[in-house]
Structure 1
Amino acid sequence: MPRGQVLWLLCGAVALLGAPAPAAAAGQLAVAVADFDYSDTSGEEADQSAQHRDRMTIFAALLRDGLAQRDYRVVRPACPQPACTAISMAPDDLVAAARRDGARYLVYGGIRKMSTLVQWGEVQLFDVEREQLVMRRAVTFRGDTDTAFRRAADFVSETVKDAMAGR
């Protein structure tokens, strides 16, 4: 099976696994996880935009799944635009989308490929109810592989859980 098909199948499976059961969602703290932005400033000649789109889809799905495993009700903000990211939307619109979904917190951010070996990102956690930023964390990781993105998503998930637990 071609690599692209494997990525799409994996992405679909992860998204299905990360969906919380509706019956269990009633008393859970709701967290909206927006899609993450991505930019490649590495200057590499090969066009990897399709692979990066796939990895960012999987990254967000893994982040949602990681939070759902800790009894959070995870929602994906319903945005009027196809891309529901901090760059593609006005901040007030992104917060409003999270609020419409009943989320207490909003997680958003982006990743930038700086070189062949280094990815850099920023993750932010916004308290929708109090209207304040409660966490802003820089994240770096090595590699431009599925494994590197999976490990980064796991780390970000734990970081966000720790930040929410301390509130």
Structure 2
Amino acid sequence: MPHDVGRPRSVQPVRENGADMNVTRLFQITKPVRSILCAVVCAILSHFPAEATQRVAVFAFEIQHGDLVQGAPDHRTAEEKRLIMISERLREHLAASGLSMVDIGPVAEKAAATNLRSCSACADGWAQELGADYAITGVVNKVSELILSMNVRVHDAATATPLTSAAVDFRGNTDESWRRAIDYLYKNLLWPRLEKLKK
């Protein structure tokens, strides 16, 4: 006898030993359990705060001149501008690497009137007052118009402990040579050493 295909029949779901009902009951039971587990996990994670961004106070670079040769041109005005430029450039490099820059404005006048080369503890104390983790100072040593060097020191602001430093020699007393020197010093020397401190 041929099958009747003209009218579709309703198909009842097949139940085997009440399996679908058991699944429903299981879901109803496990739902509050999942809520409790989520609450417990959240409570545990709340005790592990996210790693705080390290705060850095970068003080303005200083310059130390060698014996001036009689008759040599005086480039102090240009050099003062370059000191500002490399200080800002170092801050930009550090910020781009994920560190938080502390505004040294409140102590900038005192810092400018102090020889930080011989009073690194002064910078450390001011950095701590500003809420920084690290105090960074720098100096350019000018031997002549051709021979110069750049030095950066990093201290723990809370303990005044020297943490690391970096130095580079460079040639030429120009904007470009100073810029290249601070970029090289940061990328190849200072930042790799700072990364080690974070580990």
TM-score range, shorter chain: 0.7 to 0.9
Query: Mind listing any 5+ residue stretches in structure 1 that lack a counterpart?
Result: 1-25
Whichever structure has more strand as a proportion of its residues is 1
The question of 1:46 aligning with 2:61 is answered no
Query: What amino acid sits opposite 1:110 in the alignment?
Result: V
Corresponding residue to 1:161 among 169, 186, 191? 191
Equivalent residue, structure 2, for 1:20: none
Residue 85 of structure 2 is aligned to residue 55 of structure 1 = no
One-letter amino acid matched to 1:34: F
Matches of 2:134 and 2:113 in 1, distance apart? 15
Candidates 52, 57, 74, aligned match of 1:32: 57
Q: So what's the TM-score if we normalise by structure 2?
A: 0.63
Q: Distance in 2 between matches of 1:130 and 1:157?
A: 24
Give the CA RMSD over aligned residues.
Answer: 2.3
CA 1:54–1:27 in 2, change beyond 3 Å: closer, same or farther?
same
Separation in 2 of the partners of 1:84 and 1:61?
Answer: 19
Distance change in 2, residues 1:86/1:68 (3 Å): farther
Distance 1:116 1:63 in 2: 23
Distance 1:122 1:50 in 2: 21
Counterpart of 2:86 in 1: which secondary structure? helix
**SS of match in other structure, 1:129:** coil
Larger Rg belongs to:
2
State TM-score, norm by structure 1: 0.74
Q: Secondary structure at the match of 1:124?
A: strand
- How many aligned positions are there? 142
Among candidates 129, 137, 141, match of residue 100 of structure 1: 129
SS of residue in 2 equivalent to 1:123: strand
**Could you say which residue in structure 2 is the equivalent of 1:137?**
166
1:141-152 equivalence runs, <5 A = 141-152=170-181
Unaligned runs of 5+ in 2: 1-50
- Once the two structures are superposed, what CA deviation does each residue of 1:81-110 show, in whole Å capped at 9, x if it has no partner? 261765388433311111122211111121
